Amino acid sequence: MDWQTTADAVPAGIVPEARALSLVGRPPATGAWREGDPVGDRRFAAIGDVALESGAVIPKARIAYETWGELSPARDNAILVLHALTGDSHVIGPAGRGHATSGWWPGVVGPGLAIDTDRYFVVAPNVLGGCQGSTGPASVAPDGVEWGARFPFLTIRDQVRAQLAFARALGIDRFVAVVGGSMGAMHVLEWAIMAPEAVERIAVLAAPAAATADQVAQNSVQLEAIRIDPGFRGGDYYDLPDGEGPTRGLALARRMAMLNYRSAIELNQRFERSWQSGLDPLGGGGRFAVESYLDFHGNKFTRRFDANSYLVLTEAMNSHDIGRGRGGVAAALDGIEARSLVLGIDSDRYFPLDGQRDIAARLRRSVHGPEPFLVRSEYGHDAFLIEHAIVGDALRALLDA
């Protein structure tokens, strides 16, 4: 999911310039945050060993996170915000040292906004397996070498188990709300099932109760684009010089993903058949503007993300099925006790609205009844990151309930 979306709403045919993130020069082998890089607004919490569903153990794991607002003396005003696939802990705040891009939800989180940092203590962790400070493939393993492809397979439940340990490390026993979109919403559902005593409210934004075959198929071609890049070297590329890592494969995966995150309506209206240069692409001398747009975002992505993390997190999303081992999806949903918001987007072609309808129909304490809160938007899946006003209204209704 595209977590840096608001800045790219530019006129058709114009590719936005990079801001804090420079596209000058060859891309690094990895865009991961590494030890010795500027910390920025990150903090770090040690969560100890994390036992995984596979039987593997990630030793001495840590979670990178950011917070806003003040935790009350009773520790009863905390909200947990969980990010999408390519997001991180930088929910709000400017780009700068330590943060390649500005925060991904500036119109929703902040003073006086729907998730009001004058009222709530807002916590946003980078997911286990991520590449922006939490333990992941780009982290150094106990043998002194990056984990790379040796990093264990993770499920959504494994990541929530790490988030639960993180909450304990912060001394927070119960959240006013756990909020997330896309991959983050998968985590939200697992929170409500795995730790019902720790969750008063949940906001499930633009995600299904289980990944479908179609969604796994779309993800699979992105993963293969990375693996067949010669610079991937089986996941062992961290010592390669700039320009020699798996950047072409990662950029191609990103371009594929963006076609899922946005809608045909938006791309057709925004770019039409315009081209980037003064030369007609049909004559072999130019490029369609939409091609340049996808190239720009693919190339930008390689400077802030890690190819191995993309594999790990995408495969975790493929594992998502809240009904696994629980008697099926319906039984799992029937057991959720938290007051809930389920939000869907009419133009979402990645996680279509039917998935949110299935969830809302089973939740007994939904603030919007048996139907999801509907966002009508041309922006497709990314609308939950872009349509701040309507998403904010939905979240206010949940928090006031």
Inform me whether the pLDDT recorded for 359 exceeds 60: yes
* HSE-CB of 319 using CA atoms within 13 angstroms: 19
Q: In the predicted model, what is the mean pLDDT of the chain?
A: 92
| Structure confidence at residue 20 (pLDDT) | 43
Question: In this predicted structure, which of 241-245, 279-283, 308-312 has the lowest mean pLDDT?
Answer: 279-283
Q: Domain for residue 87, yes or no? A: yes
pLDDT at 9 over 80: no
Neighbours of 182 (CB within 10 A): 28
| Distance, CA of 241 to CA of 258 (rounded, Å) | 27
Distances (CA, A) of 267 to 23, 77, 221, 259, 274: 23, 41, 21, 9, 11
pLDDT digits (tens, 9 = 90+) for 171-183: 999 999 999 999 9
The residue type of 256 is M
Q: What pTM, to 2 d.p., does this model score?
A: 0.93
298 within a domain of the structure (yes/no): yes
**Exposure on the CB side of residue 292, measured as CA atoms within 13 A:** 17
The C-alpha angle with vertex 175 and arms to 169 and 178, in degrees rounded to 5, equals 105
Of the chain, the percentage scoring pLDDT greater than 70 comes to 92
188 has a pLDDT exceeding 80: yes
Q: Kindly list the strands in the beta sheet with 121-125, ordered across the sheet, starting from the edge strand earlier in the chain.
A: 43-51, 57-68, 121-125, 78-82, 177-181, 201-205, 339-345, 373-375
Partners of 65 in the β-ladder: 43, 125
3-state secondary structure of 214: helix
The catalytic site residues sit at 182, 348, 381
* Of 1-10, 169-178, 201-210, 345-354, the least confident: 1-10
pLDDT at 251: 96
- Establish if 140 belongs to a structural domain: yes
Lowest mean pLDDT among 44-48, 71-75, 260-264: 260-264
Q: What is the pLDDT of residue 272?
A: 80
Q: What is the pLDDT of residues 87-133, one digit of tens each?
A: 999 999 999 999 999 999 999 999 999 999 999 999 999 999 999 99
Identify which of 182, 167, 275, 259 has the alpha carbon closest to the alpha carbon of residue 221: 259
Domain of 114 in residue numbering reads as 6-400
Q: Is residue 1 part of a domain?
A: no
Count structural domains, the chain.
1
* Whole-number pLDDT of residue 384: 98
pLDDT tens column, 361-380: 999 999 999 999 999 999 99
Secondary structure in 3-state letters for 295-349:
HHHHHHHCCCCCHHHHHHHHHHHHCCECCCCCCCHHHHHHCCCCEEEEEEECCCC
In this structure, is residue 119 part of a structural domain? yes
Is 80 exceeded by the pLDDT of residue 26? yes
Q: What is the pLDDT of residues 306-341, one digit of tens each?
A: 999 999 999 999 999 999 999 999 999 999 999 999
Query: Could you tell me the CA-to-CA distances from 212 to 219, 318, 350 in Å, in that order?
Result: 11, 8, 10
Bridge partners (DSSP) of residue 57 are: 51
CA distances from 1 to 26, 257, 285 (A): 24, 7, 32
CATH number at residue 240: 3.40.50.1820
* pLDDT of 185 strictly over 50: yes
pLDDT grade, residue 275 (50/70/90)?
confident
CB 78: neighbour CB atoms within 10 A? 23
